[in-house]
Structure 1
Amino acid sequence: MKRITVILTTALIFAAVNAMLYVTITRRLANNFSGTGQLKMVDVRKFLPFEEGSELARTGASLKFTESDKLPVLDGAAALVPVYASVIENCYPEGCITYKGGTFSDDNYYGENFAPDSVMQYQNTIRGFDALVAGSVDLFFTAHPSKEQMLSAQEKGAELEIVPIGQEAFVFFVNKGNPVDGLSSEQIRSVYRGEITNWNEVGGASRTIYPLTRVKGSGSQTMMEKFMEGDMITSKAPLSVFGGAIGYSFRYYLSGMVADENVKMLAVDGIYPDTENIRNGSYPLTANFYAVYRRDNQNANVQRLVDWLLSEEGQTMIEACGYVGLPDDISEQ
């Protein structure tokens, strides 16, 4: 009887704790702006070359590799999967993408299912960059590598060629329920320095700001550290998780690849990050993205491919993918 009483008491305590957590945390978080912080994975299946339903830019190319060519292995950041997958679609022969087990797996979140001999890999920014430096990837599509990544490459004896191939906007986003539609650059910096802590300080509701950050070494985190000029919060107030979140990413990754109707992008300094404002240079956080390769790479097709990306055909493909091409005076150099 005593044992039963102990078991029942333990069960009641467990239930009470869970009820308290639901009331104080779960229920409150379910109805605030923090949903913007949910992890979003790229559905790689949507961007597989040579698949009828893939969402790729099929613009055609005069550059056509054959099975007898030494095919460059491509990898890149999650935000640029549509670009390098479209390169393969337009320039590579069918049959060059292979999978462990013979077919693509729905569990292929980080490229685990691509076979070692596949010309398409998906290892994302951190692991993919390391693979480029190690030599198992020929051409890597990315935002500009971080200082730490460049130093790591130098220490390993890898000299890199970093070629701009297109433009993208670095954006800040909130839940669509947040009444704030835009912030100034200095307001954003103040948020991420812990100086502005409530949305009512920037015209919003009286709610704590929950500033989201990204993984060190990712393209978006590298861009954010550059924007913050090295002065950025390293910890958050524990209770800020109850507030309204703000996060950052790249425009097409947010709006086109992991599109979420509950999220909206913010104007920065009064300029909204649409393609026209990226193209005309008025959006203040416009950045190039790059094709990166080792200078000692002996595969001549790597340079051929980079030259094609800078050509009118290549720039047309990049635009068709949903990004913005380089200004004519850069792409024609």
Structure 2
Amino acid sequence: MFRLFLLVSVLLVLPVDVFAEQVPIRIEGSTTMAPMMRRMIVAYRRTHPWQAFSLTASGSGSGVSALSGGRTDIAMLSRLMSEKEIADCREKGVDPERILVAMDGLSVVAHADNPVTGLTRRQLQSIYVGEITNWKAVGGPEQQIVPFGREAGSGSLDVWERKVMGMAPTAHTVFRVASNEVMARAVQDEPCAIGYVGLGFVNRHLHVMDVNGVAPTVETVLDGSYSLARTLNIYVSRDAPEDVRRFLDFVLGPAGRSIVEAEGFALNH
């Protein structure tokens, strides 16, 4: 037995014990899904201790590239694959199969002391294009807004650009971060910050804002009233091997669904 290290995009190393003889199931992609997937790996290995895994949290776009390039067995995406990405996979001999794991709501967050209860989509867009630069303009204190956003290749960024930004360009003053975990830490440490994270990364140190008068909750994500709802997906090749299929059965079964709920995401029953 030796230690296999799970590499994440922010250079955080997480150990999982595995057996050297077993060919690992390779998982790569969304930083939103990575902590949940790690818990599933740990739980699965309680009954399948011989199964090895490698988990790389590098962003949804990297997950797609790894799947099409044969470098991963499971791609985690916090968005849907585009038609172009599907076509690229097929051109390279991979026929991608989508599996819905959970629903999520991209949550707009600020420092815990921020008094602003909510923003409209138009106000969010204006902040991120640089038109609104002070919290006073949206009912807050006389303080410069410090906006945080995600790096290119992020599924969260893709959803944000489609549902908030539209065709509007993001201001160069937006600080780019590599993951939900880094975003949460940055916003909770900066009194003037605004950012966005998945439901599973909301904590008591963050102030969650309504968007268009609706709070991001499991209930509003499932009933469709929260406008920044999204899907959390796994993509595999349709000819994925049996060991991968067995793990996917676990992910979609009672134990996996329990982990989804424990992580704060929504289950579409």
Alignment TM class, shorter chain as reference: 0.7 to 0.9
Unaligned runs of 5+ in 2: 1-8, 175-189
Given that residues 49 and 89 in structure 1 are in contact (C-alpha distance below 8 angstroms), is that contact kept between their aligned partners in structure 2? yes
Given that residues 166 and 324 in structure 1 are in contact (C-alpha distance below 8 angstroms), is that contact kept between their aligned partners in structure 2? yes
Matched, 1:311 2:253: yes
**Following the alignment from structure 1 to structure 2, what is the Cα–Cα distance between the partners of residues 154 and 249?**
32
Matched, 1:210 2:146: yes
Matched, 1:140 2:75: yes
Structure 1 residue 190, shift from structure 2 partner: 2.8
Unaligned runs of 5+ in 1: 1-39, 52-65, 98-118, 329-333
**Following the alignment from structure 2 to structure 1, what is the Cα–Cα distance between the partners of residues 105 and 228?**
6
Given that residues 70 and 301 in structure 1 are in contact (C-alpha distance below 8 angstroms), is that contact kept between their aligned partners in structure 2? no
Give the match for residue 32 of structure 2: 79
Q: Percent identity at matched positions?
A: 26
Give the match for residue 266 of structure 1: 209
Q: Secondary structure at the match of 2:106?
A: strand
Give the 3 Å change call, closer, same or farther, for CA 271–96 of structure 1 in structure 2. same
* Structure with the bigger percentage of helix: 1
Q: Which amino acid aligns with 1:141?
A: M
Give the 3 Å change call, closer, same or farther, for CA 69–243 of structure 1 in structure 2. closer
Give the 3 Å change call, closer, same or farther, for CA 152–310 of structure 1 in structure 2. same
Give the 3 Å change call, closer, same or farther, for CA 130–275 of structure 1 in structure 2. same
Give the 3 Å change call, closer, same or farther, for CA 200–151 of structure 1 in structure 2. farther
Structure 1 residue 220, shift from structure 2 partner: 1.2
Give the match for residue 197 of structure 2: 249
Give the 3 Å change call, closer, same or farther, for CA 152–75 of structure 1 in structure 2. same
Q: Which deviates the most, 146-155 or 214-223?
A: 146-155
> For residues 58-115 of structure 1, what are the alpha-carbon distances to aligned partners after superposition, in whole Å with 9 as ceiling and x for unaligned?
xxxxxxxx99987632334222223222332233332544xxxxxxxxxxxxxxxxxx
Q: Secondary structure at the match of 2:137?
A: helix
Given that residues 128 and 170 in structure 2 are in contact (C-alpha distance below 8 angstroms), is that contact kept between their aligned partners in structure 1? no
> For residues 265-324 of structure 1, what are the alpha-carbon distances to aligned partners after superposition, in whole Å with 9 as ceiling and x for unaligned?
212122222334334444332211001112343x13333433443334432232133322
Give the 3 Å change call, closer, same or farther, for CA 271–233 of structure 1 in structure 2. same
Given that residues 78 and 231 in structure 2 are in contact (C-alpha distance below 8 angstroms), is that contact kept between their aligned partners in structure 1? yes
CA-based RMSD: 3.5
Given that residues 76 and 123 in structure 1 are in contact (C-alpha distance below 8 angstroms), is that contact kept between their aligned partners in structure 2? yes
Given that residues 171 and 285 in structure 1 are in contact (C-alpha distance below 8 angstroms), is that contact kept between their aligned partners in structure 2? yes
TM-score, normalised to structure 2, is: 0.73
Aligned mate of 1:124, from 58, 63, 74: 58
Q: Which amino acid aligns with 2:68?
A: V
Matched, 1:302 2:255: no
> For residues 227-272 of structure 1, what are the alpha-carbon distances to aligned partners after superposition, in whole Å with 9 as ceiling and x for unaligned?
136323243369xxx99332122121x32xxx572x3221212222
Q: How many positions carry a matched residue from both structures?
A: 242
Matched, 1:220 2:160: no
Matched, 1:94 2:49: yes
Give the match for residue 170 of structure 1: 106
Structure 1 residue 182, shift from structure 2 partner: 1.2
Give the 3 Å change call, closer, same or farther, for CA 153–209 of structure 1 in structure 2. farther
Matched, 1:325 2:267: yes
* Structure with the bigger percentage of strand: 2
Larger radius of gyration: 1
Q: Which amino acid aligns with 1:223?
A: V
Given that residues 104 and 221 in structure 2 are in contact (C-alpha distance below 8 angstroms), is that contact kept between their aligned partners in structure 1? yes
Given that residues 110 and 209 in structure 2 are in contact (C-alpha distance below 8 angstroms), is that contact kept between their aligned partners in structure 1? yes
TM-score, normalised to structure 1, is: 0.61
Q: Secondary structure at the match of 1:289?
A: strand
